Structure 1
Amino acid sequence: MLDTHARKHIEPLFVGSAQLLLKWGLSANQVTWLAFVIGITTGAWLVIDQVWLAVAALWLSGFLDAVDGSMARQTKTSAWGTVLDITFDRLVEISVIIGLAIRFPVAQLPLLLLSVSIIVSMTIFLTVGALSEKQGVKSFYYQAGLAERTEGFLFFTAMMVWSKYLALITMLFFIVEIFTATQRLLEARRLLKPK
């Protein structure tokens, strides 16, 4: 929801950062890799109880992930860049979930349920993106929903910072993901159902 409706307010920051990184000679795919390398450390920081480093790594990764897309749109988008971007996003999320599961074994069931809900929601998102004739600013149809990447980062941050309530926050995230999956499935039916 925030990615769809609030991004326009911070887009100039992403565009300016993209222009700067392009001036420095970096490509969008190089920044995608940098975002991934930083983001994947989140789980390791959690395992060694460095919560604020984990939070910083997650958000810096997310910022660079937004900037790389802006870089691609200012130069040339590529299907390979899209594959890297989507794959690396999921791997960063997996890193957070695994780090939390190792650090807080008592919350493993809620974290497993959250993982399942993310898989279902992303499966619908990617399938609709591949099958839809609509095209967005990105190289595929971007299906909006209640939980987009920013909401995920906010939930992950809450899960890391307020770990005392990890199971509860995780289950709230799970409910939001299931709601989003349902939204996307209903939209898919409307978009893709034969007339």
Structure 2
Amino acid sequence: MLDTHARKYINPSIDKTAHWLVKHGHTPNQVTVIALLIGLMTSVLYILGYPLLSVIFLWASGFLDAVDGSMARHTKTSPFGTVMDITFDRLVEIGMIVAIAYVYPELLWPLLLLSVSIIFSMTIFLVVGAVSEQAGIKSFYYQAGLAERTEGFVLFSVMLLFPGILFWTTLLFFAVETFTGVQRFIEARRLLHKGAGTE
């Protein structure tokens, strides 16, 4: 939701950074890899006992993740770059969940539920993107939803910074992701039926 409706407010800084990096000879894929490495450091720092620094690295990774997309739009898009981007995003999320489970093993079950909800929501997102191309709707249909990447970062930040409410924050995250998955599933039915002319 925030990615869709609030992006315009931070786009100037994203585009400015993207232009600077392109001007200095960097490629979108290079920035994608750097974003992954910084994002994985989030988990390492959390395990080492630096939650605030971990959150800073998390948001730096997210910023670069947006920058690489802007760079791609201003240069030449790469299909493999898209694969890298989506895959690396999931690796950063998995890393954080594993790190939290390592520090708080008693919360393994809520974190497992959160992982399942992310898999559910992202599966629908990716399948709709692929199927909509076949249906002639768009090259890759982006499904907005209640929980997009920014909402995930906000909730992960709360989880990392406030261990006292970690159990409830994890369940909230699970509920939001599950709702988003259902939301996307319902939209997919409407969209693909319309694309097939079977409304």
Q: Normalising by structure 1, what TM-score?
A: 0.96
Matched, 1:129 2:146: no
Name the counterpart of 1:21. 21
C-alpha distance in 1 between matches for 2:191 and 2:91: 29
Matches within 5 A, 1:158-169: 158-169=158-169
How much does 1:51 deviate?
0.4
3-state SS, counterpart of residue 137 of structure 2: coil
C-alpha distance in 2 between matches for 1:98 and 1:49: 15
How much does 1:42 deviate?
1.2
Identity, % of aligned pairs?
59
How much does 1:47 deviate?
1.1
In structure 1, give the amino acid aligned to 2:174: F
3-state SS, counterpart of residue 84 of structure 1: helix
Structure 2 portions without partners, runs of 5+? none
C-alpha distance in 1 between matches for 2:137 and 2:166: 38
Matches within 5 A, 1:22-37: 22-37=22-37
How much does 1:134 deviate?
2.9
User: Residues 105-126 of structure 1: CA distance to partner in whole angstroms, max 9, x if unpaired?
Assistant: 1111100000000000000000
C-alpha distance in 2 between matches for 1:79 and 1:68: 13
How much does 1:52 deviate?
1.3
C-alpha distance in 1 between matches for 2:124 and 2:141: 12
3-state SS, counterpart of residue 30 of structure 1: helix
Name the counterpart of 1:71. 71
C-alpha distance in 2 between matches for 1:94 and 1:28: 23
User: Residues 30-82 of structure 1: CA distance to partner in whole angstroms, max 9, x if unpaired?
Assistant: 00000001101111111111101210111100000000000000001111000
How much does 1:97 deviate?
0.4
How much does 1:93 deviate?
0.3
C-alpha distance in 2 between matches for 1:72 and 1:23: 13
C-alpha distance in 2 between matches for 1:14 and 1:48: 30
Name the counterpart of 1:4. 4
Matches within 5 A, 1:13-162: 13-132=13-132, 133-135=136-138, 140-162=140-162
C-alpha distance in 2 between matches for 1:110 and 1:85: 27
In structure 2, give the amino acid aligned to 1:49: G
Which runs of at least 4 in structure 1 moved beyond 3 Å after TM superposition? none
How much does 1:163 deviate?
1.0
| Aligned alpha-carbon RMSD (Å) | 0.9
User: Residues 76-114 of structure 1: CA distance to partner in whole angstroms, max 9, x if unpaired?
Assistant: 111100000000000000011000000011111100000
Name the counterpart of 1:172. 172
